[in-house]
Structure 1
Amino acid sequence: MANSSDKISITICGDGGCGKSSITLRLVRSQWIHEYDPTIEDSYSVTRTIDGLPYFLSITDTAGQEEYRGLWTTSTLKSDAFLLVYDITNPDSLGALDYFMELIDMEADQREEDNERLLRELGPSAQGVDVGMPPPVKIVAGNKCDLKQGRAVGARDGLEYARRHGCGFMETSAREMVNIEETFARMLSIPRCGV
């Protein structure tokens, strides 16, 4: 997905209370917060080495509450990758991803149109050259997989949702540190042209 000198922008989105901030803080600070404090928008940065290459991750943790969704900015949609988080104990949180998926898909379509226009403008000399912004990488994460007794969304349902939307899929637990590093590593290893 990137050269070692690249800065990778990642936006984390999903319904309120699904654990977006917990996932982010586990990755960035190796800490878990058990109190729920609604996020409006927070930004973090961290460097991770994946397959021997250093990556500088610029992470935006977005608001999940419906009243804050209008704050999604154009710069948020310009991210290289999106982590769409739902809570496996709350089936409504999986459906809430539709809102974010629609915005991301519209951005991907716009990038494709812009890239085609740029190729036309550059003419034959641009044949075989990558121009413009590639489509964003998308991973769906079913969070709180440590809460097995409260599970309301099966892993198969999450995987099917991800497949329908052309996304990668992981189940995570910020509390137990399950698949946190692995999810971000997978995000960086997916080719920018899709899953």
Structure 2
Amino acid sequence: MTKKIVLGIILTAIICSLIITYKHLQQPMENDVLNITKNWSEVAEEAYLIKEIDEQWLTIFRNSQSIMIAELKQNWLGTWILSEGRTLSSTYYPSLKDDQITWSASGKSKDNASYYFGEVIDPEIVKITVETQKGTFENALFIETEGHRFFLKRTDGSVYLPVNISGYSKSGELIFSSKSPIKRE
């Protein structure tokens, strides 16, 4: 009887280890993102992107009021969760009729980083720069997925205000500035 109990415990431990190992080998999927937000007051309705970028799993998803970007990580059981239990940044949804870009900025205390994130609505905008009191940051990451275009710029340090997000055309013409409206002919 004791041998059967010991053998049962060993088999159970092996099976649990195999399941956890298998889960750790899985990449995140849309259902993982939707499950993360199922207890939020505003649940995610759609995941636009789940992709590994610079050794971080990032997701862009939306609910009825906002579009968010978050870093995903696995807990010890292999379940995908939000890093630090929160999003990196978010912007309002849906965009307004005349919006060219929606954007926001936020900081992440764990790695002392700032995230500038937004949706690029104007199809002529192909380059984004972020300007703060700390400097101008070029080459914001452009993310295109399912008919939506987003930008993300990570910088070291806190969010410095004021912030100016600039959008440029293919020819290099400034066609959007969050600081002052651009009159186009």
Taking structure 1 as the reference length, the TM-score comes to 0.29
More helix by share: 1
Larger radius of gyration: 2
Whose RCO is larger (CA < 8 A, sep 6+)? 1
